Every structure is written in C-alpha cells, then in structure tokens.
Amino acid sequence: MADKVVVFGGAGFLGSHVADRLSDKGYEVYIFDIKPSCYIRPNQKMIVADIMDLYAVESAVKGARFVYAFSGIAGIKDASDEPLRTVRLNILGTAHILDAACRMNVERVVFASSLYVYSDLGSFYRSSKQACELLIEDYHKMYDLDYTILRFGSLYGDRANEFNYLRQAILQAFTEARISRKGDGEEIREYVHVRDAASASVEILDDRHLNRHVMITGAQAIKVKDMLAMIQEMMGNKIQIEYTSDRLEEHYKTTPFSFSPRVAEKYFGQSHLDLNTGLLDLIQRTYEELRVHNKLLAVDLEHLQSQH
C-alpha cells in the first residue's frame, strides 16, 4: 500500500509541481487547498478546505506519513499590504498543520520557507517565515515532530501566477513590447526552475535531510539585467527594457544574507534545467496561453512554434 502524503497549498505554483513529483514516485497524494487544483491528476485526491479549520486539517493528515506545508501568502507585496492576514494564514495556519501532524503521528513535516529568513528585508513575509521556522523547531523539541525546512530562492516556470516576476515580465513583453523593471538591473539572483525545485523537495525525504534546513536555489547566479537581455534576444529583439529610478524596497540587491538564523545546507537536486532552456519554455507557454485566450499581442513570435 502506497504511503499517504498531504500537500497543503497543493493547488499553487510550487505545490502542484511537488504533488506531481510525489505521484511520480508512487505516493498516494492528497492536495489540500482553499480552491480546487487546475492541475490535479486522476490518481490524486482533492480536499477543498481552509487551513484555519483545524478539524479539516486533522482529518486530512490522518494516516499520512509525510505532510508538506506549502500553503499561505507567498508574495512579499501581498504580505506587506495585508500583515494581519499574513500572520493568520502563514503563522497560525502552519501551527494548525504542525499540531495536527503531532496528533495524527505524522512522520515528517516539510515546510516551504524562503531565503528571506536570512535578510532584514522582505517585510511581513520574512517575519512570518522566521516565526514558522521557530515554531517547527519547537514542535520538534517538545513533541519529537520531525521536519525538513526548505529555503527556496527565486522560482520560475510553468503554472506561475502574475505575481511571479519572470512570468510578469514575459506577459508584459508580449502585450506591451517592453519590460519595465524597478532598480538598475544589477540585482543578482539564482533562479531555479520550479520543476527542479519540486524534484528536490521530494528527494530530501531521505534520512540525510531529517531535521535539517535545506537551501534550494539555482546553480547559476545572474544579474537581472543579463536575464532580461536573454529574454529580449529570445524574442527577436522586438521588445524594450526600461529601468526606473524606483528602488526595490523589500527585495535584496546582491545577497539576502544579513540575518543569521540556523544556517541551511545548499542542495542541488538530481535534475537541472538550465536558465536558457527554462526561459524559452516559459516564453513559449506564455505565448500559447495568450493566443488560446485571444489576448492582444504587441509582439507576435510565430517562430517560437518551431523552436519548442
């Protein structure tokens, strides 16, 4: 009989990919989210419920071997605009998952954190992730609940919503023939494709990563301006790149490392999609989506159909 795994936030960008990788590995996957998943597979089960409902959370995790806590507010701007909602969903919601996991004898909880826990930037998003990490460590100390904390870098790829920067930039390129960026583009990021991040999120279920903090980022550091130049070239140099004088108030420029919580080990998964291939794939998928929905294109790249 396959082991049961529950993915809280499994209808979202990263969570849906993690659910798929778990299914590929033969687990019995339950997706718990406030809304039905658009990506659910026939062999996955959907639980539409709210993590604020402790009874629903407990019922969902009953009999589960592993639980993924990937729900909550994931955007820095959203968290900054709604601090009380961020505290409620990110901190109290995670506490509900942890408490239910203890009561139902779950073997391990895997938590989606962020590199911003290292930073003094990131506003309420950062502080909510820091609080959750401390809660997880205390549940382990007090109740022997095992965990793995995953600190993700800059994710991109298919299924991203409009709040994901690369998704947002490519949408703007197609619809406005330009990409506008706050700052000067000198910011350094280590972009990791969501499918690689999802694969790594399943690989860490081995004993080597038990009760550890794991950093999952891309293997290639790149300046934002160089990444945007790649997109520009892939789109036939038909778009303009514009930089504004506004600073990225809540985002780091070169490194997030200023706060010093428990240090995470950096993990490179078994799969790796290079940035060139990942960007071209995202451009292609965005192009096809806009065409299917008859959205007005300021840039129409017919040649992409032959490249994909």
pTM of the model: 0.86
AA identity, residue 38: C
Average of per-residue pLDDT across 255-261: 50
Q: Where in the chain is the domain with CATH 3.90.25.10?
A: 156-192+219-244+273-308
Average of per-residue pLDDT across 284-308: 73
Asked whether the beta carbons of 67 and 97 are under 8 A apart, the reply is yes
| pLDDT tens for each residue of 212-230 | 999 998 877 889 999 999 9
Lowest mean pLDDT segment, chosen from 85-99, 108-122, 146-160, 190-204: 108-122
DSSP output for 110-136: EEEEEGGGGSS-SHHHHHHHHHHHHHH
Q: Which stretch of DSSP H or E encloses residue 150?
A: strand 146-152
Q: Where in the chain is the domain with CATH 3.40.50.720?
A: 4-152
DSSP 8-state assignment for residue 293: T
- The fold for domain 4-152 equals Rossmann fold (3.40.50)
| pLDDT tens for each residue of 34-47 | 999 999 999 999 99
| Residue (of 200, 203, 220, 216) closest to 274 by Cα position | 220
Pick the CATH number of 156-192+219-244+273-308 from 3.90.25.10, 1.10.1240.10, 3.30.420.130, 3.50.50.60: 3.90.25.10
